[in-house]
A and B are shown apart, each in its own frame.
Chain A
């Protein structure tokens, strides 16, 4: 049997994203491919990788045109990278970006590649619109028809109602409920208050604005189509202003979720450069953080047994147990703000004795976190959330934070995803 490679460290060298746009805003006319290519080219320029062949580029999009079946490879071919760089698409809803990081890191750890780029892109503006199911079936039948008469018969079967297009909906296939409706149930269940949600949202905007002002994103983002900051960022928002908004998810008196404490639909792309330590050192490239470990969990939200976006509450304890760490062992927590209440419900679950006992089978809850270490430079509520791009944004941001903190510092990433899934990971500063 040939020698097995010894597992080794995969490290984050850096990242690049384009500023995130609001749906139908600055990037209204930009395709996923154009945005992903721009994000890749900015990364290539930052690290002087023009003409280099990478081990692979892994990326994906949640809302994807059927013609974009090879989206990432096409973006690579349009970028300054060596065209012999292989690429593939991956999709795990909002977990896509982080899942690509896990994939690329694992291949580096196993010695299958030396360096790779992970990432994701999404456009809520340039979303695919498909023909209705009736029309699609009729067209397929007509295409398969052997005689002209059969073809006519097939097409004659089309009814006016079949002509309505199918637009993508932010709804769960199995429940028909939007993500917001699902989360409204969870928020209610955990008793998450409107005030707490608005406070988290205001902090996200203020922290992100301060980070842009301080130049934190100078080496994490590259302007695109005249956008040089996140379009949805509201530096001057406040708890008071947010309190004036009417709830949009949930019903009646207990409704707490507004457009202000929920992420807006967004457009954008993000990438992360990962490599072996040797590869980075040979090229005099920075080593920001080590990829430590990751875990993915899923919950049965269809039966109503668990909330749609609560899977990270299960993934994190499993990951901590495997690594022999406690929830308090981290210098930074990056919890994706799908909704302010998602973050707060997840934190509440970790603090709950019942949840620990009944759901996690643990003697004691994970406990609370130092909230001053949470999303210190803002998160999705302020930056926006182009679904597949969020993982790349968070990993690059966290890696830089940990590098600034110093060697041995630790960071936890937690991202909830449609379909009742949760992708979480640990990074360690270098």
Chain B
């Protein structure tokens, strides 16, 4: 049935009839093909320039649209109009440093940079605006201006076509722990590369971490020699997470329920990891994970990242939901990871979570927007959001350099979503700015970005991987 819908919507006739055609997104570590251009809204683009230097990415100055710089263009119908001076070719990405934007006029500068660049933006191009956390911006006008950036970016995300994305990064500049270029590097790199293919219209937050904690900034294998535990790794998104971490050098411990063992062993063998069959809700699950790590990698070994990906759905309208259906979802999706975290966070436990380690949860757009028939699931996923926010603010974890974050996937093409009734599924695929479903690897790449040693300054955050879905946005 999936194929029938695809056939109806993506054949040449459908294209001629004007059915929107999804663009093949740029994925992986590829940077944009065209040049990266940099502009500023208020002040100079100092932080963005420095960050690009850290990454070794060359950038040009962005063109700025003003009435004086416009050129005359003749349309096909022979009429003339004033347009911004064009770029010589396609632009790969436009980065705007708006950290110093405090006055409403600064927003005009933002428009001036964006307008010519958007006209030239290549397929799967990138728009990245960097601002500060509004509440730190100073007076009411400055706060308003910083908040305005979000309105601009979210609208631009909806305006862009052909797989291009727009995102806002908020940093701390006006606090006693200002964000540095090294803090920002992993996030800017993620947004520029194909890894962020299905992230658009979002606000990302980067704080500050001790310089010693921010490591492996430009490494292609940032998890080399590190132990990464992925639950629910036997199939779907979990399998992709395991593969992505293995690609980036990690020694992956792939965890799934014994009943999912067949898929789990295939994943583990494909990536050269180890399979750990485990019911995460069972008593002692955390101890068994730690025990496996200490046994297989030596007593001194510790976990660098644990990804709490395992989850279940037991959909039913709330009026028809009994305590078993309610409890089992909360148990697997939320309670189990709370207990496992408690165990692994014991600094004296062999095979526990390392200092400088990462905890990454998997929430859902259902947890943000709610979903009919998924009150139990939405409860568990919203719970994950609360959990990472609370743990991200925990100073004891901060002192150990441990970050806690979560992704919130939107419509991802998996075996599970393939079972959704056809009409609902097609709507899910289409009601987002990229006009297509995401792939498991898009979620995996985002999780890997959170987990990178270079992302030490990102904690307590939830990032949607939803192609700017309109659900709960």
Contacts and interface: CB of A to CB of B under 8 A. Distances in A.
A45 B258 contact: no
A286 interface: yes
B262 A224 contact: yes
Interface stretch (B158-166, B197-205, B266-274, B305-313): B266-274
Contacts, number: 74
B266 A48 contact: no
A44 B269 contact: yes
Given A47-B274, A217-B258, A41 B297 contact: no
Contacts of A224: 261-262
Interface stretch (B141-149, B172-180, B277-285): B277-285
A284 B294 CA distance: 9
B262 A222 contact: yes
A225 B261 CA distance: 10
Interface in A5-62: 38, 41-42, 44-48, 50-51
B296 A284 contact: yes
Contacts of A228: 258-259, 261
A154 to B, nearest CB: 48
A43 B346 CA distance: 31
A217 B259 CA distance: 11
A45 B265 contact: yes
B472 interface: no
A198 B154 CA distance: 72
A162 B259 CA distance: 47
Interface string A212-229: 000101110111110010
B128 interface: no
Size category of the B interface is: 20 to 34
Interface residues of A, number: 24
B280 to A, nearest CB: 12
B298 A284 contact: yes
A245 interface: no
Given A46-B275, A222-B277, A284-B298, A41 B259 contact: no
A223 B278 contact: no
B383 interface: no
A223 B266 contact: no
Contacts of A217: 258
A50 B274 CA distance: 9
A285 interface: yes
Interface string B251-268: 000100011111011101
B277 A218 contact: yes
A222 B259 CA distance: 7
A285 B275 CA distance: 13
A80 interface: yes
A286 B295 contact: yes
Contacts of A225: 262
A173 to B, nearest CB: 37
A212 to B, nearest CB: 9
Contacts of A50: 268-270, 272
A24 B237 CA distance: 34
Interface of A: 38, 41-42, 44-48, 50-51, 80, 215, 217-219, 221-225, 228, 284-286
Given A51-B272, A221-B261, A222-B261, 17 more contacts: A42-B262, A42-B265, A45-B274, A46-B265, A46-B275, A48-B268, A215-B282, A219-B276, A221-B258, A222-B265, A224-B261, A225-B262, A284-B297, A284-B298, A285-B295, A285-B296, A286-B295
Task: Pick the 7 closest A-B CB pairs, nearest first.
Answer: A45-B265, A80-B269, A222-B261, A228-B259, A45-B275, A45-B268, A48-B274
